[in-house]
Structure 1
Amino acid sequence: MGRLLLLAGMKNFILYCTVAFGLGCYEGFSQDARVRIDTDVVLSVKEVFHLIESQTDYEFIYRPALLEGASPVKIARGEMRTGDLLDKILAPEYFSYEFYNNTIIVREKEGISGVTTAAQTVDIRGTVTDSKGNPLPGVTVLVKGGENGVVTDFDGNYHIEFVAGGGLSFSFMGFTPREVVVEAGSSVIDVQLEESVTALEEVVLASTGYQTISRERATGAFVSVAKEQLEKPASSVAERLVGVVPGLQSTVGAYGLVNFRVRGQSSLLADAQPLVVYDGFPVEGGLESINPNDVESITVLKDAAAASIWGAKSANGVIVVTSKQSKQGKLRVSVSSFVKTSGKLDLGYVNPIATGAEVIDYEQKGFDTDLFGGGSNPLPPAMFIVYPQSLAVTAMNEARLGRITPEDRDATLARLRGLNNQKQIRDYLLETPITQQYNVAVSGGGEHIANTLSILLEDRKTFFKGDEQERVLINYKNQTDLKDWLTFDFSGMLGYEKVKTNGVDLNFIHDLQPYDMLVNADGSLTDMSYLHYYMPNMEAFVPMDKFPYPDWSYNPISEIRNRDRTLTGLNSRFQAGLTFKMLEGLMFSPRIQYELFNTRGRSYYVEESFTVRNYINTTSRWNQDYDTSPVANIPKGGFLAQSKIRVRAYSFRNQLSFDRTLGEKHNINFIAGSEISDRVREFTQNPLAYGYNEKTRTIVESLTPSDKLVDWGGNSFRIPTAHGFQYDTDRYFSLYGNLGYTFDDRYTVTGSYRTDASNLISDDPEYRYSPFWSVGLGWQLGREGFMDKREWIDRLNLRLTYGYNGNVDKSTSFLPLININAEPDLYTGENTAGISDYGNPTLRWERTRTVNWGLDFSFFGRKLYGTLDLYDRKSTDLIALQSIPSVHGTDRQKLNSATMSNRGFEISLGTVLPIKGEDIVWSGSVNYSYNNNKITELYKNFYFASELSQGVTEAYVKGYDASTLWSYRYAGMVNTGTVSAPHLLPSFYGPDNEKFSFQNLPPGDGRQYLFDQGTRVAPRTLGLISSLKVYDFDFSFIITARFGHVFRRHGFNYHPMGDGNVTHVNKRYREVLDSDPSEVVPVPVDAEGQYFMWGEFTPYLDYLTVNASHIRFREISLGYSLPKNVRAKLGVYTLRFFAQANHVGGIFFNDYGEDPEYPMGNLKPQPVFTFGLDFSF
């Protein structure tokens, strides 16, 4: 019902837009439609056509071969009417054009008289088409040897009279001319022309967020993502960047969230994600807050010259996203939709548990011989009710206690051995992921106003039943010419998101034994309360029926049904600006952005849920006398937890820009401005509401702070009733400037400067106003005179840049910070606080110095093109945990004390090969990146072995890669007993190769005996993109590869047994049983009371580290566009069907079949298949 209402609302909305946009004050397809040029640029005629098509509703009819040899045109920054722009570029080339509704027909200027008047004539009619049968308007039909002729009309038809026995010639731009002899008696001659295409070089514009610069004038390292990649179906913008940008390494999470790293790691503790800029401003929510269908271009800024204009926020790189421009002209509607689905989780991979028989064998061995610590002692009758055990161990223990017979135990174990819950988990807990997305975009306007409105609707179900997401994004963009010298632009975004997380998670599934069944044979739910309690003791010694809720049963399926955990977000973003055209090339632009993001969390548990029943029962007061009835401390009824996060942010900018070519050879591009920004984040946590009634929206009674209460086990507690609050504010003030000078379109010098001040940095001006700057040189070597004879060189450009970027760690402060606890101390009743940071009085920006050498090239008409960049990055003043004298109250403190380097290179090669004109075209590109990371300065005088092996933030070590993987070297079994009474324990090598058992740690620093097995982050990455267009079909694929790194594979978990410690045996148990103890740690053969210690070492042994190199088939895409003549009959501009497959598979260079990015036991994306269409009218 809700979806029907939504669809009805969309229809009404489109109708409204049709009226609102259609009644605008515009002149249809007038030549007065304006085109905006962001910077002085040299474009080919074809590129100007593309520019006009992108900003208006015009479409051109022409063939590229007509433009062969046409001179590039210099176009100044500003706005021009379409007709004036066409006059400028076409008149010097002897072309003419004609407006036909929304179509512009371009043809050669010919001396054509309309009609021949010979005495003896024949009347010839016909149709001229291309090789696919599409009619060709504008074809010149001439009488051979004469000057008379006609031109085909819009449907490709022609009519001519001339002397019989003569010939006709047919010529059209982009096609091979054809001659036809007209025999006597002929009346109809249909002609088909063959296409002839010459590829033109692509013009790339780079946007820094503050300005747009042509590639020829840019000295920095940047990558613009291809338009074809941006048009692929995706739920987020980030998905379209994976594998296509050299130097941009991505990690795709199981739920589709993508993390990026630009040219290695440049910070130790601060945020390492690149800055996301949308339409000129950094934005809240990152790429996930942007409608991927509204994106016009994406530029990744990688070096100092490209990114330093963003100052203290740019050390991790900058991703600049530009939305599609508002359009003038009549109403146009674009619609797209797709459905994306994949299979359920592969339980054998994400939950690699042993078979039921293997689990019971392991449990039996541990229980009978006390191999695994604490399992053999009978559980005391009354004290261990809260210590659950598995069904198998419970049967073993009940037999030992004499409550059941050995025969009953053996029957129970035999039954459990034959059970397998994998199918029930798939059927009742797992969901088939599916995403449905609908997009509608409406554009139109008048001579002085342009509008675009878009709506995205998305529904998504994820891996677990009860988890789902809804998203709505509405974007509006307007540009209005108030005067010839004044333009106003406005954009707004309204986003709504609803996320439900009622399902279980992977950790819950990991905790299930293979014989833990969810439903009975008759379909009824099983009682799985044994997961929380030792039920035989509960039933024997606890008056369960006397508690507030006599029902103690538990089942995850019913729990999913009895809770509503929802996050709701209502987000908005508004941008507005004015552009004053003061003088030729000089503009002043004040702009503002305001964002308001509201997220509300609401978790409601109905009274029937186990969460409610269990908490109220276990917090009841009871004297542990079976005949005494417990007294509830908390009122019965549902639970309601609520929280709220509010983020308010604004940025205000004044910018003066100048872009002008003086004389014939001097181009100056300059911007200068000031910017202030303020961001406030507020978090509020309401106390849990007990006794809540969802229907009446009331609670039974309000709870107030109380004295200590006593629960059913005699433990003291207080009912939390205090609100939790958190308030953060970030304020920045910035001054910036950028200057570029180009001489004779060959030599370019650039420079940028920015200073940032922030409340996050020390108030000492020496540190607060640290500048960030860059300089760059560019040389268009291919335009030198001595290169003129090398016609195979299209472009050859050398670049050199040097400069500084910045970063900030928001987790520390230049003043000491304390956290005030919301609740008073349980025993003293006093309010307490703790020191969260001791303060860094010289806190300053992290700085990254980058040197970049670059080469851009294009050869043989873009049949081979690419870039090569070499870089050296040095990050200084990095925040790190540094050792300090303990007299300060701590022995470690976050200080600006570390230095790190990243050195590497990136190469990108591409080609465009027309195989048969524009009908069959193959294009491809390959990018390869190498990065070497090293911490060059860091003072820390001592490392615990656990810090290094577990890889926490304290594991950074001077002289090593920041992502180094540290391991214990396994030394086989060592005898810790005597010759007559041996006690064999696994061991590892300590200092001087001395063997230490798993029960002992060597004295001293962990660096003395742990060793580095390599980096966890691939230093070498590769991306391959290939596309093939065959008439109206297009096919493409993306392959990514990573080499030179390592990861820890899945190993046996050596799970101990004990009170409340249920054993979970994974599938590597068989490997342990079949392996040599000198190579793989075995299961103990004697009683081992310290078995729990083994888990401190076994996950971090060297033999678990394997090669992480792999090749991944990231994407395969297939599309079909209806031919133009069919679209014309249907009354649509475009109509395209597409299918796409992602996460198709990979080749993994390890012997265990594990995916290094998603190791066994972790969530792993399944192959995803997408089907959809898009059309416009």
Structure 2
Amino acid sequence: MRKHLFLSVMLGLCAFSGMTVYPTPAMATVTQSPTIKVRGQIVDEQGEPMPGATVRVKGGQGGTITDLDGNFQLEVPGNAILLISYVGFKEREVAVRNRAIIDTIQLQADDQMLEQVVVVGYGTQKKSDLTGSVAVVDAEALKQTSNSNISTMLEGKVSGVQVTSDGQPGADPTVRIRGVGSFGSTSPLYVIDGVPMGTSIRDFSSNDIETIQVLKDASAAAIYGSRAANGVIIITTKRGQKDQPLKVDYNGYFGMDYIPKGVYDVMDADQYSQYIGQACANSNTPLPSGYKLNSETGKYHFQDDTNTNWFDEVFKTGIRQNHNVNLSGGGAHNTYNIALDYFNQKGTLEGAGPNYERYTARVNNSMDTKFIKFQTSLVYSHSDQDNMGLSNASEYVQGLYGDVTNILRGTLLMQPTIKAYDSSTWVLDNLVGIANNFNYDAYGYGVYYDTIHGDISASNPLLVNNLLQRNTRVDRFVGTGSADVDIFNMFGFNSKNHKLNYKINLSYSKTFCKDFTWIPAWVQSNRVYLSKSNERLTKGSRIYSDALIENVLTYDGTIGKHHINVVAGQSYEEENTDLLTGWGINFTEPYFLQLQNAANTYSESYEYKHAILSYIGRINYNYDDRYLLSATVRRDGSSRLTRSIRWGTFPSVSVGWRFDKESFFPFNPDVVNMFKVRASYGELGNENIGEYMYQAVMSRNNMTYNFNGNVVTGSAVSTFVDNNLAWEKKKTYNVGIDLALFRNRLEFTAEWYKNTSEDLLYAVPVPEQAGVSNTTVTMNAASMNNSGFEFSATYRNRDHDFKYEVSANLSTLRNRVTSLGFGTDSYISGSYITKVGQEIGQFYGWVYEGIARTQEDLDNHATQEGAQIGDCLYKDVNNDGKVDSEDQVVLGSGMPKINFGLNARFEYKRFDLSIATFGALNYHVSDDIYNSLNSCYGWGNKEVGMLEANRFSEDGSTYLSNVPRTYVTNSASLGWNDLFSSRKIQNAAYWKIANVELGYNFPDKWFGKYVSDVRFYVSAQNLHTFTGYHGYNVDYAGGTFTPGYNFCSYPTARTFMCGVHFTF
């Protein structure tokens, strides 16, 4: 059904576009003459063939590209003129003169390659004229990247950009540009074909991408004002070319996903039996009946031969595939591009999820008249995501063990002595009357106790992931259009040196989301896993709409050595959000999963509106290609703020100096092709702060009043708010140097930056005497800054059969919180602390000093109440003679100080090889699963190394193990070994081989005249990570206040793929 809907919508898009998708008849300027078939070869200055060069007829229709040997063949009029072009080389005209074979055509390298046009906000600039911090992602690298998500294409490609994600199908990566700039959202703004698309672009196909630019400082991003505080990523999608016949490209791949084994070395049944026997003995806890002590061998064993490898039971091989068809072309006055894309990824867990499927269709059209250029883009995307049964501990379902509801955690902590199946059913082995044995341990965690196994550490992950269903379906429609009017030309003022254009941009998008969650009862025989009273169906609907209109006036003029570009405009955007959720409890069997069939139903709904009105202005000035100046201002008015402070003004200025253009430039211009110094300052705002936060909430709950003896229900303010809530503000400073050497073969950029964020929203405590329900109020109270250096370099060599390109980038980051407001010095949450003068969200706990081997160790150490031989010892930081909560200190940072990327692409004749790597240094990670598997407390499975625990000398006076003693129950005398300390964080420095792709380009003659550019490739993703870290996803970012905390993130798979590309 969905496939039929997809095709129907695609046909509708083509019809609705209002523009023909076929080339219009060419208005050729050449005199018609008999056509001939002409052949030739394109080479560079060294005589090397140039594959991929474009050959087309000047002023007419028709064109082709050269094959891998630089050869082309084209049917043209005998008196035609050919235009030959190639990126980085000067365009050349060649007259045919009725020749069937043209001598070798040589192209000359364009020393003005720096004149490459870069897309910036509301316009374009020559790369050599940029004065702000703008990174351009290599277009060739994008073509050889097989990623389903656009954001992941940036991994390791751009200095100062950190991309992290877990491996769950359909997951949205976390993208941070130059660190954390806010306590709230840190995602950048995405702009696609000039239209802001918010902070998530998961629904779009990466195959549609033509170019990507990243705006990192305020001088580059200020044109987007309050939406650009976290940086801007500008994406341009593919469009057809004029005078090009219909071209059909297919690109597809098939891959298999594997979760690497052995990351955690967990115990088997025999090892676990030994461990649990020793732990019970240490705790003076009776041994569960399923475990026996062999008096002859002194070893423990389980009552039967159950030895479940839960990892093998739960994980499977995942499958992914992607198919993309692209039709493009154009006539003399129009172009078209139609793209159809299908992506499917079956996850690596047995059960209902996670899986992700997406259909995408895009139609891009353009049409020129004498004075006006029209462009339209229509996009439809449908995605279907099956989520894991449960993914985190906050999704607690009564009747399931709430401490380890995460599937991954449950898989690794489940005892190997419990069977996964019993009579083809997922069970927890022999748990009689399990519902009656649900209790809470000393920490308040829910546990099941079974006389055979002891406390059960998890609900059966196979049962949970098959029983519980969670699904999200998303349909997204985006339509954009623009009309660009050449005003001077329209009124007969034709000048190459002066242009005045008016452009109107229109955009409308609507997204429909449907959420479905089903938690059925699970009762089998006398085992109650989930009772009818907890059975739950939840259905939700989320509708988001966004409308945008922009009016932009652009003047571009040159007078002598002076060049000026002026942009002035207005923008209005309106967003609407409509949320509806209903849920029902206790259904009658057979199940008909509609809410009206529940015994009890509930519902709630919300509606939000948001609008922003903006005025923009920018001036770019260039004198003699030497002195560069750019000034921008944007004024935004946002409905998210109260009327008195609704408007914010955000200016920026940047300057540049082309030192290489000076007469006194001391270096050889053939060696140093560009030497540019630039600096910028700018201010940005952040209005991504939530809706109606400045408005107090009225409540009718338990609000009663006595009027003349009559009790009536009324309303009262239940929460306290700050009515003067204002913009978060960001000031950026940037200094950079750009070099191009050896005829632009080597490009190098170095930058220093400092970003200061002020008036950050922060939850300030509310005094109890205020008499309101909220304990905190959000205010503009905090500030912090990020600073660092960025370096990037690219070297290209395309002179011979062996061609290569190597690029590297490195960035540093220093984060400091400078204020938490109202005299607050620190904010502590569990094992994290945010402290003024230090980084946000550092690890906080005790300093581990080793194990007490003897009584003498305990006597000579600061007092640890109840500690015994074999327990952990911690540093007495404040030297008061005892270890307590006052001795907790900062243990380390989860925020990488250095990020780097190293990428390479090689070509030898018909073979090509690309390698993408990235990494990070100087930070730590706390991995929840690793810490649980090495915890000294609890009944769950452990790593094999924990078997070393509990070894004493024969007289018991000396502890011999390097692992603290273990126990299964908690008490004051046993709790020292599980405190959060430096023992529970790991050095997470890593270098990841993210992608290796090997391709072969077949000769066109093998496939006839209708098929060309056939390329077959194989690739490996997430091939290997060099690190000392024990756990999955070493690059997982964590939260804003909890960086480096990896709570059971879905493992990123190792993927092996094969694919093919060809053109009709």
Q: TM-score, normalised by structure 2?
A: 0.79
2: CA distance, partners of 1:727 / 1:103: 66
Deviation at 1:1041, TM superposition (A): 2.5
Tell me what 1:100 maps to: 76
Q: 1:771 aligns with which of 639, 649, 652?
A: 649
Contact map agreement 1:98 1:106 (CA 8 A) in 2: no
In structure 2, distance between residues paired with 1:611 and 1:449: 70
**Unmatched 5+ stretches in structure 1:** 34-57, 69-79, 87-96, 109-136, 141-149, 157-170, 176-195, 377-391, 400-405, 539-553, 620-633, 704-718, 1003-1008
Question: For residues 562 and 17 of structure 1, what CA distance do their matches in structure 2 show?
Answer: 42
How many angstroms apart in 1 are the aligned matches of 2:388 and 2:643?
47
Cα offset, 1:1087, TM superposition: 8.9
Return the offset for 1:309: 0.9
User: Which residue of structure 1 lines up, in the alignment, with residue 476 of structure 2?
Assistant: 571
Instruction: List aligned pairs for 1:507-546, cutoff 5 A.
Output: 507-520=409-422, 526=427, 528=429, 530=431, 533=434
2:621 alignment partner, one of 741, 756, 774: 741
* Deviation, structure 1 residue 342: 2.1
| Deviation string, structure 1 residues 972-1015 (Cα, Å, up to 9, x no partner) | 55579999999666553455233545xx534xxxxxx3332332
* Alpha-carbon offset, residue 513 of structure 1: 0.9
Shift of 1:244: 0.6
Tell me which residue corresponds to 1:83.
59
CA contact (8 A) 1:820 1:833 kept: yes
The structure 2 residue matched to 1:454, chosen from 339, 342, 358, is 339
In structure 2, what is the Cα distance between the partners aligned to 1:270 and 1:978?
A: 42
Q: 1:486 aligns with which of 357, 372, 379?
A: 372
- Could you say which residue in structure 2 is the equivalent of 1:1110? 990
| CA shift for structure 1 position 530 | 2.5
Q: Between Structure 1 and Structure 2, whose CA radius of gyration is higher?
A: 1
Tell me, in whole angstroms, the C-alpha distance in 2 between the residues paired with 1:682 and 1:59.
61
> 2:947 corresponds to which residue?
1070
Aligned-partner residue type, residue 1042 of structure 1 = A
SS at match of 2:434: coil
Amino-acid identity (%):
19
In structure 1, distance between residues paired with 2:473 and 2:749: 45
Are the counterparts in 1 of residues 249 and 1063 from structure 2 also a CA contact under 8 Å?
A: yes
Secondary structure of 2:835's aligned partner: coil
1:1072-1116 Cα shifts (integer Å, max 9, x gaps): 447997997722689963368558x52x21233343222221221
In the alignment, what sits opposite 1:656? 553
| Residue from 306, 310, 334 that aligns with 1:419 | 306
How far apart are residue 332 of structure 1 and its match? 2.0
C-alpha change, 1:794 and 1:728, in structure 2 (3 Å) is same
Tell me the amino acid that sits aligned with residue 554 of structure 2.
S
- 1:1140 pairs, out of 1019, 1030, 1034, with 1019
Tell me how far apart the structure 2 counterparts of residues 594 and 1132 of structure 1 sit (CA, whole Å): 38
1:867-878 alignment to 2 at 5 Å?
Answer: 867-878=749-760
Contact 2:315 2:348 in 1 (8 A): yes
Return closer, same or farther for 1:859/1:562 CA change in 2, 3 Å cut-off. closer
**Alignment map for 1:667-678 (pairs within 5 Å):** 667-678=563-574
Q: Deviations over 1:667-706 (max 9, x none)?
A: 2111111111122222211121643678877678664xxx
- Residue 793 of structure 1 corresponds to which residue in structure 2? 672
Match of 2:253 in 1: 338
1:966 aligns with 2:844: yes
> Aligned with 2:813: secondary structure?
strand
Equivalent residue number for residue 956 of structure 1: 834
* C-alpha deviation, 1:772, in angstroms: 0.7
Check if 1:754 corresponds to 2:634. Answer: yes
- The aligned length equals 948
Instruction: Report the Cα distance in structure 2 between the residues aligned to 1:15 and 1:575, rounded to whole angstroms.
Output: 15
Which amino acid in 1 is paired with 2:1057? T
Counterpart position of 2:68: none
Counterpart Cα distance in 2 of 1:911 and 1:576: 39
Q: Secondary structure at the match of 2:45?
A: helix
**1 or 2, which has the higher helix percentage?**
1
Does 2:12 align with 1:65?
Answer: no
- 2: CA distance, partners of 1:103 / 1:1034: 38
- Provide the secondary structure at the position in 2 that maps to 1:871: strand
Q: Residue in 1 aligned with 2:221?
A: 307
Task: Return the alpha-carbon distance in structure 1 between the equivalents of residues 503 and 322 of structure 2.
Answer: 37
- 1:992 aligns to what SS in structure 2? coil
CA contact (8 A) 1:987 1:995 kept: no
For 1:281-680, what aligned pairs fall within 5 Å after superposition?
281-284=195-198, 286-328=200-242, 329-346=244-261, 348-349=262-263, 352-367=265-280, 370-371=283-284, 376=286, 393=288, 395=290, 414-415=301-302, 418-422=305-309, 425-427=311-313, 429-465=314-350, 466-467=352-353, 468-481=355-368, 483-501=369-387, 505-520=407-422, 526=427, 528=429, 530=431, 533=434, 557=462, 564-583=469-488, 585-604=499-518, 614=528, 617=531, 619=533, 640-661=537-558, 663-680=559-576
- The alpha carbon displacement at 1:259 in A equals 1.3
User: 1:258: Cα distance to partner?
Assistant: 2.2
SS of match in other structure, 1:65: coil
Counterpart-to-counterpart distance in 1, 2:726 and 2:947: 54
The SS at the match of 1:229 is helix
Q: How big is each residue's C-alpha offset from its partner over 1:66-122, in whole Å with a ceiling of 9 and x where there is no partner? A: 999xxxxxxxxxxx9953999xxxxxxxxxx997289987499xxxxxxxxxxxxxx
Which residue number corresponds to residue 895 of structure 1?
A: 779
Change (3 A) 1:1084 1:1146: closer
Instruction: Decide which moves more: 489-498 or 322-331.
Output: 322-331
Q: Secondary structure at the match of 1:273?
A: coil
Q: What's the counterpart of residue 994 of structure 1?
A: 880
Measured in 2, the distance between the counterparts of 1:732 and 1:928 equals 37
CA deviations on 1:613-645 (whole Å, 9 max, x unpaired) are 9588564xxxxxxxxxxxxxx9xxx86421111
Aligned in 2, Cα 1:934/1:854: closer, same or farther, shift over 3 Å?
A: same
Match of residue 229 from structure 1? 141
In the alignment, is the contact (CA less than 8 A) between 1:848 and 1:874 conserved in 2? yes
- The structure whose residues are more often strand, as a share, is 2
Change (3 A) 1:691 1:1106: closer
Q: 1:616 to 1:881 in 2, by over 3 A?
A: closer
Aligned partner of 1:784 among 656, 662, 678: 662
Kindly report which structure 2 residues correspond to 1:1002-1151, keeping only aligned pairs within 5 A, or say none. Answer: 1002=886, 1009-1048=887-926, 1050-1051=930-931, 1063-1070=940-947, 1072-1073=949-950, 1082-1083=964-965, 1089-1090=971-972, 1093-1094=975-976, 1098=979, 1100-1126=980-1006, 1129-1149=1008-1028
The letter of the residue matching 1:241 is: L
Counterpart of 1:63 in structure 2: which amino acid? V
- Partner amino acid for 2:251? S
Match for residue 403 of structure 1?
none
- Mark the CA change 1:368 to 1:743 in structure 2 (over 3 Å): closer, same or farther: closer
Within the candidate set 1167, 1170, 1174, 2:1057 is matched to 1170
Quick check: 1:243–1:1038 contact (8 Å CA) kept in 2?
Answer: yes
Corresponding residue for residue 166 of structure 2: 253
Deviates more, 1:1084-1093 or 1:755-764: 1084-1093
Structure 1 residues 355 and 474, CA gap change in structure 2 (3 angstroms): same
With over 3 angstroms needed to count, the CA separation of the structure-2 counterparts of 1:1136 and 1:27, relative to structure 1, is same
Closer, same or farther in 2 for the Cα pair 1:1086/1:224, shift >3 Å?
A: closer
Query: 1:38 aligns to what?
Result: none
Rounded to whole Å, the distance in 1 between the matches of 2:1009 and 2:1019 is 26
- Closer, same or farther: CA 101–817 of 1 in aligned 2, 3 Å: farther
Structure 2 CA distance for aligned equivalents of residues 362 and 172 of structure 1: 78
Provide the residue aligned with 1:931 in structure 2. 813
What is the CA distance between 1:921 and its match in structure 2?
Answer: 1.2
Partner in structure 1 of residue 100 of structure 2 = 153
- CA distance 1:730–1:797, change in 2 (3 Å): same
| Aligned-partner Cα distance in 2 for 1:271–1:995 | 44
From 673, 685, 702, give the equivalent of 2:581. 685
SS at match of 1:331: strand
The answer to which of 583-592 and 831-840 deviates more is 831-840
AA in 2 matched with 1:517: K
The change in CA–CA distance for 1:940 and 1:1169 in structure 2 (over 3 A counts) is: farther
Structure 1 residues 258 and 821: alpha-carbon distance in aligned structure 2, compared to 1, 3 A threshold: farther
> Residue type matched to 1:419 in 2?
T
One-letter code aligned to 1:651? L
Q: Contact 1:1148/1:1154 (CA < 8 Å) preserved in 2? A: no
